[in-house]
Chains A and B, each alone.
Chain A
């Protein structure tokens, strides 16, 4: 059994391993063949006059479904290239789209200079790409030259989606992500509504932004096209600019100073990098241009000016707005899904809000989603997947399913329809990683919220100082830092305020939680003289831990202070955050912030509150989908109980538990008993005999004759294949109550080795559940004759001692039928003699003893009757005397049992 059990365990282990391996293979196996993109070079004429030739490096992914499919243009982020989008493009192609990705001019292997999504340059490039798509045989057309096409992209790529939609009526749907509405406002924000001309320069972001595009100078010298060939940026996220990561090493490869004029060597259909490596330049070389990298000179000049002064000139604002949706009001009239990051100090939620309002005003369908990440990182992977899925679903809806592009049947309102916010859903209990839940509302209420809650805050008028040189500065968020640290640490952003530079106002602990969705606002008064640059931020403060600055966002503002106090309303950054009960709102007004350019002249002002309350926007219609227990949490246990019941009921043997039959006086009757081994060989074969009361029956046979198997069947331990055993008329089945009249000792003793001999017998008797006085314990112990050893643990016993204890256990309760298997094994001759006497005496009172043995002398001297077995079959049954008589040779000295026995079992000499 040990062997068989071991084999079964092994088989189970192998089965488990196979299941595991299968599961792994199933989940890791590439589910579908990869869609392969075809690299193409598209030659484009752009510029204000349409006379400048650039070659765009693009990749076309034909639709996996074949036939004519809607097309999608996927645009990359700033500092990236088309390579970032390969995976997403392949997945979209697999979904049945013709997908075109391209490196924007000035990036990757495309020629030309960066014009920041200018209508004269990048937008014209996209028009040319749409023309190109219209000529593809596998792109579905709405009209001749008008393909069914959508654009999706993040950041820089999101802006081109918006700008292209404004300038090209053939675009049918767009999904701009984490992008701008007004680039001037993004770089020169101001929170009291005075516009970018009075804005505070976002110097760190601006620096990263321009260096990402201008870094080609060093890259060109070192790398060239070869460096690019193997250098696909690691991130596959479409919604993050490479520039956001401070990845200034994104060597763009081609030489700088590519000339304004048409590139003479650009030819259609020739997109190899080698052609671009030696980009000619007829206008390069001025010292100012050396800092411009691949930027258009007018962009470069603008940046050099504003970065020096920290002030937006009207020309700069005009130039930046030309590349911004703010310059094209009412011209984006197609279905738009706006996805903006909550942790985004470069293009905060307010930009998406402005885009949404502008587009919805034209009557076009617009939906809004605020995701967990943004340019400051900290987004969850689950959100990335969600964004891709939402993007694809939006394209499906407006490109595939819509019969007429851009029109929604039954549209009634002009508002923004769907609104989704990614919120922290705690941690996944299994992986311990953070989980995002998506709260949804049927309509988007805007940054002002569906309703507003006033929370009183208080604090005295406090003097604050601007340090000389603007340093040390408060820290809210360090652009690019999150990406450098791998993004994970960004969620625990550190906010530092310098004492003496910040005024603090606090609310009382909140009596009930407030979920803020939108831009809170507060009125403050600034006392002093001259123009004051301030930064307002709203912390979530609770006892026992650092106050949290939601999304690490601050609102910069400029006020012209007066001694009597200049009152101004500050729009605080748009956030989605739950302020728990017991927490305080803490308004901090600081003079410095590391991310912004602040005045270097030392100054001192006083800041106080005007109004004494923070106005919080609330949107109660945002509902998190009920995350109640999954259906299987109740279904699985119920199903398990049903399965278990089925297992138990189906496994029930169809035998009467009591074995049935009328009780009679025959202690043991065996009829037609057969038991096969697993290999089919019969251990007991058609055995029939019976035993009368008062007999001492010897069960005789050589090893392997089936004696022990028969005894096991008598005890109900193994199931007979055929035939039956009846004890006192009752059929023996496992656990049959009649077994209580059977005492047995089969194949060696079985005791708990850690218990004493006495404890073993006592516990055994207690396990039978019968009254203690019926045990005849002392008589049994006397038979065992163990003396003082009874109080020792059984593990210390010799073989003979265990044997005697086991026989005593069999005799406990003086059973009417006693079955002993080789009882004299391991006993010494005096003990054997005594044993014989005991057994004979036991049977004299009308009880029955069955003794198995292969020792002839044993049987001859102890038994009255004998059953001889050979290979599972009965060969003789009767009194011992009869056995001798039948084989008595005439005239001999009398038969020897040994001869008779050997004769019977067929091994006579």
Chain B
């Protein structure tokens, strides 16, 4: 306490007395709709080390891969190998497609799970959640604002990786038409650029399941690692299950089954049917999981 602590509240007394008379049920200037502005939540999350580390990793990964390709032996020309990895050095677009293909299934899922799974659980683990709720930030609003910010960070992560890969690949390998894996056909860069936007958009949507599951777990636990790990665990289990062919068409409803469907957008005849199914599955799971998260948080006793 300050040495001259006593007079301080006294000076505020008069002001408080005035306010109490006029304020009635709420403090002056308080409105539920103005609590926890998005800007504040962005700042609260931005300076965290895990945010910085994740973005640093996503921005550095394309360059690491560029260096790796420079060191590796040049892919044999004319060989039968027309896998997406063999074509990565054909140009910026090819490289970006390669980077997306190797990271979409796991790295981006981890990034999304991190941003969405950590958001509420970490507040609970720091005990700051109860002070926000007592401020008071209404529960639905707190969850909504946190969801928006977490999704925005996730979207930035999913977008920033292919864009940086495009930049790194173009710098390292030049700007060329994209060469399609398998057949080796080429598609003009100008044609494929809008499709590339579709690909990134699809990658975003396909991560919605991970995001919403992580968010639901985040609401239910005060261990951020548990929420992130749980969501990543779902990705792993789902990926394993989709390898079990005996499950037949049931696998179409696994959350990760359509994660690679965006490859169809980069073929000479783009086929969007798989992506449509993927979006449908993803949105379905996400909507229900998020609804559960809100329902659960409303009724929850916050004791952390």
Binding site for B on A (CB under 8 A): 1-2, 5-6, 8-9, 13, 16, 20, 23-24, 27-28, 426-432, 542, 544-545, 627-630, 632-634, 636-637, 639-641, 643-645, 647-648, 650-653, 658, 663, 712, 715-719, 728-730, 734-742, 744, 746-755, 763-764, 766-771, 774, 776, 779, 782-783, 785, 804, 809, 811, 813-816, 831, 834-835, 837-838, 841-842, 844-847
Extra contacts, 8 of them, besides A716-B134, A845-B9 (Cβ < 8 A), are A545-B183, A634-B280, A653-B299, A719-B299, A729-B25, A735-B138, A770-B28, A774-B27
A9-B237 contact, Cβ under 8 Å, with A429-B277, A640-B284, A735-B32: no
Residues of A within 8 A of B20 (CB): 741, 816, 846
Interface residues in B, total, Cβ within 8 A: 112
Q: How far is the CB of A577 from chain B (nearest CB, A)?
A: 15
- The 8 A CB mask of B49-64 against A (1 = contact, 0 = none) is 1000000000000000
From B295, B298, B303, A717 is in contact (CB under 8 Å) with B303
B31 contact set on A, CB distance < 8 A: 769
Closest chain A residue, CB of each to CB of B131: A750
CB atoms of A764 and B131 under 8 A apart: yes
A8–B134 touching, CB < 8 Å: no
- Subset of 25 A-B contacts with CB under 8 Å: A2-B222, A2-B304, A5-B220, A9-B220, A427-B264, A430-B260, A637-B283, A637-B284, A647-B295, A651-B299, A712-B302, A717-B301, A734-B133, A735-B133, A740-B26, A752-B128, A767-B40, A771-B29, A774-B27, A785-B1, A814-B12, A816-B20, A834-B2, A837-B6, A841-B10
Asked if B223 is an interface residue, CB under 8 A from chain A, the answer is: yes
Chain B hits for A751, CB < 8 A: 126, 128
Q: Which of B40, B49, B222, B223 has most A Cβ within 10 Å?
A: B40
Q: Could you tell me the distance between the alpha carbons of A735 and B42 in the complex, rounded to whole angstroms?
A: 22
Decide if B70 is an interface residue (CB 8 Å cutoff): no
Interface of B is mostly: helix
Q: Are B26 and A637 in contact (CB under 8 A)?
A: no
Q: Is the CB of A629 within 8 A of B276?
A: yes
Of B36, B288, B294, which contacts A769 at CB under 8 A?
A: B36
Tell me whether A776 and B12 are in contact (CB under 8 A). Answer: yes
Partner among B9, B26, B233, B301 whose Cβ is within 8 Å of the Cβ of A841: B9
B183 to chain A, nearest CB (A): 6
- Bound-complex Cα distance A552 to B9 (A): 93
Return the contact of B16 from the options A628, A639, A749, A816 (Cβ within 8 A): A816
Closest Cβ neighbor of B14 among chain A residues: A845
B196 to chain A minimum Cβ distance, whole angstroms, is: 18
A636 close to B281 (CB less than 8 A):
yes
By a CB distance below 8 angstroms, the chain B residues around A628 are: 273
Complex contacts, B304 vs chain A, CB 8 Å:
1-2
Which A residues lie within 8 Å of B6 (CB)?
A: 837-838, 841
Nearest to A842 among chain B residues (CB) is: B9
Q: Mark B33-48, 1 if CB is under 8 A from A, else 0.
A: 1111100100110011
Residue B75 is within 8 A (CB to CB) of chain A in the complex: no
- Minimum distance in angstroms from A679 CB to a CB of chain B: 14
Q: B1 — which chain A residues lie within 8 A by C-beta? A: 783, 785, 804, 831, 834-835, 837-838
A846→B291 CA distance, assembly (Å): 44
Number of residue pairs across A and B with beta carbons under 8 Å?
312
On chain A, the residues within 8 Å of B301 by CB distance are 717-719
Measured between beta carbons, the chain B residues less than 8 angstroms from A428 are 274
User: A8–B260 Cα gap in the complex (Å)?
Assistant: 32
A712-B303 CB under 8 A given contacts A752-B44, A754-B48, A767-B132? yes
B182 CB to closest chain A CB (Å) equals: 9
Query: Which of A641, A742, A770, A811 neighbours the largest number of chain B CB atoms within 10 Å of its CB?
Result: A770
**Chain B residues within 8 Å of A785, by CB:** 1-3, 5
Asked if residues B246 and A764 are in contact (CB atoms below 8 Å), the reply is: no
Closest B residue, CB atoms, query A651: B295
Question: In residues 161-199 of chain B, which contact A (Cβ within 8 Å)?
Answer: 183-186
User: In the complex, what distance in Å separates the CA atom of A783 from the CA atom of B4?
Assistant: 9
CB of B68 closer than 8 Å to a CB of A: no
Bound together, the chains give a CA A581 to CA B273 distance in angstroms of: 23
Which residues of A are found within 8 Å of B139, using beta-carbon distances? 734-735
When the two chains form their complex, are residues A20 and B241 in contact, meaning their CB atoms are under 8 A apart? yes
> In chain B, what residue has the closest Cβ to A432?
B260
Please measure, in the bound complex, the distance between the C-alpha atom of A750 and the C-alpha atom of B122, giving whole angstroms.
11
* Bound CA–CA A628/B272 (angstroms): 10
Q: Which residue of A lies closest to B5 (CB)?
A: A838
Contact, CB under 8 Å: B284 / A5: no
Q: B125 to chain A: closest CB distance in Å?
A: 9
Instruction: For A12, give the chain B residue with the smallest CB separation.
Output: B230
Give the contact stretch, choosing among B88-96, B147-155, B247-255: B247-255
State how many angstroms separate the Cβ of B13 from the closest Cβ of chain A.
3
Q: Taking CB as reference atom, which chain B residue is nearest A764?
A: B131
Question: B66 interface residue, CB < 8 Å from A?
Answer: no
Q: Which residues of A contact B183 (CB under 8 A)?
A: 545
Contact B221 A545 (CB under 8 A): no
Q: Which chain B residue has the least Cβ–Cβ distance from A661?
A: B25
Once bound together, how far apart are the Cα atoms of A647 and B290, in whole Å?
Answer: 10
Contacts of B129 in A (CB 8 A): 750
- Which residues does chain B contribute within 8 Å of A729, judged by CB atoms? 25
A774 contacts B284, C-beta separation under 8 Å: no
Chain A nearest CB from B246 CB (Å) reads: 5
Neighbour of A1 across the interface among B49, B126, B132, B303, CB < 8 A: B303
Q: B108-147: which have CB < 8 Å to A? A: 126-139, 141
How far, in whole Å, are A430 and B138 apart by their CA atoms in the complex?
A: 42
User: Lowest 8 CB-CB distances: which A-B pairs, in order?
Assistant: A845-B13, A429-B274, A750-B127, A769-B34, A644-B291, A834-B1, A429-B261, A735-B138
Instruction: Tell whether, in the assembled complex, residue B276 and residue A633 are in contact, meaning their CB atoms are under 8 Å apart.
Output: yes
B201 at interface (Cβ–Cβ under 8 A)?
no
